[in-house]
Amino acid sequence: MDLHAAIEESVTIPPKGIRMVPLGFAMAIPPGFEAQVRPRSGLGAKYGITLPNAPGTIDSDYRGEVQIPLINHGDTAFVVEPGMRIAQMVIAPVMRCALEEVDELDATERGDGGFGSTGIARNRA
């Protein structure tokens, strides 16, 4: 779902700045679920506006007003207007697991290869 800025007046985010933007609602998420807050791709691509902790998580026991931290990675100030769509939210299940400490892990073809170890995807137009 789209999330809108619930502000009376515009909020300016300076270059490299972060501002908390209220959304004007609170919610009760059922146990076993979370809200995932994600940036809007258009704001990121056009203006460098995103979330500093994307995706953000809202836990099921939080009952305060939902607010979104926006960061400006751009070189010019960005103005958030009242009612502007500033983020998106998805409600998703949270898997609970039991952790088990082991002395070694099972082998895979990739092994401990990190970033870029599986190759670079190329556009084959």
- Is 109 a member of any domain? no
- Is 100 a member of any domain? no
DSSP string, 50-86: E-TTSSEEE-TT--S--EEEEEE-SSS-EEEPTT-EE
- Is 96 a member of any domain? no
Q: Is 79 strand, coil or helix?
A: strand
Instruction: Tally Cβ neighbours within 10 Å of residue 91.
Output: 14
pLDDT number for residue 114: 78
Structure confidence by residue, pLDDT tens digits, 44-78: 999 999 999 989 999 999 999 999 999 999 999 99
Amino acid at 120: I
- CA 5: distance to chain centroid? 16
Q: How many domains does the chain have?
A: 1
**pTM of the predicted model as reported, rounded to 2 decimal places:** 0.80
User: At 120, is the pLDDT very low, low, confident or very high (cuts 50, 70, 90)?
Assistant: low
- Is 111 a member of any domain? no
Higher pLDDT, 36 or 124: 36
Q: Which of 98, 21, 34 is nearest to 61 (CA)?
A: 34
Rounded average pLDDT over 15-29? 97
Domain that holds residue 8: 2-75
Q: What is the mean pLDDT of the chain?
A: 93
Q: Is the pLDDT of residue 106 over 60?
A: yes
* Cα 16–Cα 3–Cα 26 angle in degrees, nearest 5: 105
29: buried, middle or exposed (CB in 10 Å: 19+, 13-18, 0-12)?
middle
Q: Is the pLDDT of residue 125 over 80?
A: no
Q: What is the CATH number of the domain that holds 56?
A: 2.70.40.10
Of all helices (H) and strands (E), which one includes residue 45?
helix 41-47
Of all helices (H) and strands (E), which one includes residue 88?
strand 85-93
